[in-house]
Amino acid sequence: MKRSEQSILQTAAMNRHLLLFRMILALILTGAASSRGQNTVFTYQGSLNLNGTPANGSYDLSFGLYATNSGGSPIGTVLTNLAVPVSGGLFTTHCNLTPVFPAPATGWT
């Protein structure tokens, strides 16, 4: 193999390594941007029956977080979403846990 052929092969190998490095760096940076802290709002979908039949209309729905699966007292504040539309027994609403679990003065936010 001539010296110029060897030089071309080395340059090609370096270019492949540089491309691989750039791709890995792009993946890391993309992942870092999407892994930032999430907020405390989430969407809740549920069903509501009234006297055994699917409910229709607007309802005030309350949500609480409990330490047990039955009975007990809510942890923090109970959230109430006013006038949530219910159709055919199905509803979608947003729950915001910030009032229930505010961020500590230090640490995560």
Higher confidence at residue 106 or residue 12?
A: 12
pLDDT band at 53 (very low <50, low <70, confident <90, very high): very high
Q: pLDDT tens digits, residue range 19-47?
A: 777 777 677 766 655 555 566 788 899 99
**Closest among 91, 25, 26 to 57, alpha carbons compared:** 91
Q: pLDDT tens digits, residue range 74-100?
A: 877 788 999 999 999 999 999 887 665
Alpha-carbon span 103 to 12, nearest angstrom: 52
Strand partners, 90: 47, 87
Higher confidence at residue 71 or residue 91?
A: 91
Instruction: Note the pTM of the prediction, 2 decimals.
Output: 0.54
CB 14 within 8 A of CB 63: no
